[in-house]
Structure 1
Amino acid sequence: MDHSGHGMTMDLPPFTLGRALEFSADPFFLIGCLLALALYGWGVMRLRGRGDSWPTHRIVLFTIGVLTVAVTMCTGLNDYGMVMFSVHMVQHMIISMLSPILLLLGAPVTLALRALPVAGRGNRKGPRELLLALLQSRYLRIITHPAFTIPLFIASLYGLYFTPLFDTLMGSKTGHIAMMVHFLLVGLVFFWPIMGVDPGPHRPGYIMRIMELFAGMPFHAFFGIALMMATQPMVQAYRHPPLSLGIDALSDQEAAGGIAWAFSEVPSVIVLIALVFQWYRSEQRVARRSDRAADRDGDKELAAYNAYLASLQTRGQ
């Protein structure tokens, strides 16, 4: 890998799906993925060890979410993403819009709150208390508020790709890793209050969550269209792709724009399905509580009526 010019260049054979999925680990993300799976597994085992249950579908969704990060950053996709704008855009869309949703559906914060040990005697704060303090902190209230998350979500596109910042980050491996971590974190804070699976500072109603979801998605589509309609390469890092790839920079940019435009629909569908399911289950719980309350009221009325009949019988005697 040669660090020259504005970006990182490397000679690669023409892109194929097989080459893109070959194992090519980035140590930072590989260790991070393994650590995430290990901590989540520890939490599940701790719960089950004391006789508590944890939904299997949560485990499956979290695991798939971690695997999407691993596929994005620990395969040939990451190598091709350094020299092909279209492949980089696939990485960006997965790690910022698909991985966060799957990870959040795994309810890792809820698992941590249930699994972490509480403070022992004489200790004011244990691991669980520290996590609760973070969840209730002013800092988290700010960074998960829609007034912050929606502009941040939009700025991660326009403020990055249409300024020299992108080329600066692509100029080093550390910068590239930092950019990908940023995409993942932005996706997590954007979708966290919308998904509403884990406790957090903000828990808006279902209608408001849907509105927050659709507030950011059109900007993704506009961004993709802007790339597709451009008449010259807009990102310096991908202006001169290696000759070994046999691609044209402008055509590759057009493909990147198409990916950004099309992918904005994917999280919308997944989140909407999840929200409708949560809404349905919430209504079912409310209905069951109402039925139980009605049953209790009915039992009281029946008991009062029986007592009234008994009193009439006593008077008659």
Structure 2
Amino acid sequence: MIHEASLLTLAGTFVLVMLILSLWFAYVLAVRWQRKRRKVWHCWRLASFTLGSALLVIAFSPPVVEWGHIDLRGHMAQHLLLGMFAPIALMLGAPGTLLLRSVPVTTARRIMTVAASMPVRCLSHPVTALVLNVGALYLLYLTPLYQMSFHEPGIHLWLHLHFVLAGYLFCWSIAGPDPAPHRPGMRLRLVVLFIAIAAHTVLGKLMFAYGFPRDAGHDLAEIEGAAQLMFYGGDIAEMLLALVFFSAWYRQRKQPVVVDEWQTADRRA
């Protein structure tokens, strides 16, 4: 039964890797299309998106997946790659902006209309993103969900996918360069970022001090090592996100009038 679950997990992981590579390839094609039309698209954005994709592929590689199955420290390293470092790099690639520039004007308008709808605005709000991102970690490590995920391949794969999507949503809601209708102000986003930093710190200390996740077959040294990875690795990732945030704030203060992609689409028409 365990062997069958491992095979299903590997198969699902392979599908996710193929999806990542397909999205990266689509991004590269879109960049080439922009350059053929003599539109500017900075190389560093392509490099950033490529780095994020590479980090995801590394996190889903067989050695890292196996390490994550047998060692909580490996699981935590995988989580840091999937949910924190890769999303920052992907977000800096501005895939949403590239999409809007690559599709017809009418399609870009429809995308922006959907983005401005109330359900999407609620989902992409920094507070919602914080709950989905950090709240899921508390649920995973402080409840039996962690143990369940190693016996149910579907739950295991869904958690990995959730790490990536929730991590990207949080990074984008705080400091994303893509257009975002009705995005909250900088001060609210800064407060949410500080809360996220504090919540990660508290969770790392709870794991270190009280041996979470409990009854999962990990010894104390392993749990403490994983808690330290979360504590220090999370700090590094959140410092990077804060740096991106303050850079965006500085640029906004220097250029208070920002032309969004919708206005750009109007001019293209």
Contact 2:141 2:212 in 1 (8 A): no
Aligned residues: 254
Contact 1:228 1:253 in 2 (8 A): yes
Query: Cα distance, 1:286 vs. partner?
Result: 5.0
In 1, Cα distance between equivalents of 2:57 and 2:47:
15
2:130 maps to what in 1? 150
Amino acid at match of 1:234: P
Within a 5 Å distance, the mapping from 1:70-109 to structure 2 comes to 70-109=57-96
**Aligned with residue 213 of structure 2, among 215, 230, 234:** 234
Within a 5 Å distance, the mapping from 1:50-65 to structure 2 comes to 50-65=37-52
Structure 1, unmatched stretches of 5+, are 10-23, 120-125, 241-248, 288-317
Amino acid at match of 2:217: R
Amino acid at match of 1:143: L
Query: Cα distance, 1:151 vs. partner?
Result: 2.3
2:159 maps to what in 1? 179
Alpha carbon RMSD of aligned pairs, Å?
2.5
Contact 1:25 1:73 in 2 (8 A): no
Query: Cα distance, 1:228 vs. partner?
Result: 1.1
Deviations 1:36-57 (A, max 9, x none): 1111112111111112110111
In 1, Cα distance between equivalents of 2:252 and 2:109:
28
1:307 maps to what in 2? none
Query: Cα distance, 1:202 vs. partner?
Result: 4.2
In 1, Cα distance between equivalents of 2:69 and 2:109:
42
1:113 maps to what in 2? 100
- Secondary structure of the equivalent of 1:82? helix
Matched, 1:47 2:27: no
In 1, Cα distance between equivalents of 2:30 and 2:128:
31
User: In percent, how many aligned pairs have the same letter?
Assistant: 28
Query: Cα distance, 1:153 vs. partner?
Result: 2.5
Contact 2:80 2:233 in 1 (8 A): yes
2:267 maps to what in 1? none
Contact 1:43 1:116 in 2 (8 A): no
Within a 5 Å distance, the mapping from 1:224-303 to structure 2 comes to 224-230=204-210, 234-236=213-215, 238-239=216-217, 249-285=219-255
Contact 2:24 2:50 in 1 (8 A): yes
TM-score, normalisation: structure 2: 0.85
Deviations 1:53-96 (A, max 9, x none): 10111111111011111111124111110111111011112211
TM-score, normalisation: structure 1: 0.73
Query: Cα distance, 1:118 vs. partner?
Result: 3.6
In 2, Cα distance between equivalents of 1:286 and 1:200:
16
- Secondary structure of the equivalent of 1:26? helix
Deviations 1:174-220 (A, max 9, x none): 32111100011111121212113111244333333222211111111
Larger radius of gyration: 1
Larger CA deviation: 42-51 vs 194-203: 194-203
In 1, Cα distance between equivalents of 2:165 and 2:99:
18
Contact 2:125 2:184 in 1 (8 A): no
Amino acid at match of 2:18: I
Larger CA deviation: 153-162 vs 99-108: 153-162
1:2 maps to what in 2? 2
Structure 2, unmatched stretches of 5+, are 258-269
Larger CA deviation: 81-90 vs 129-138: 129-138
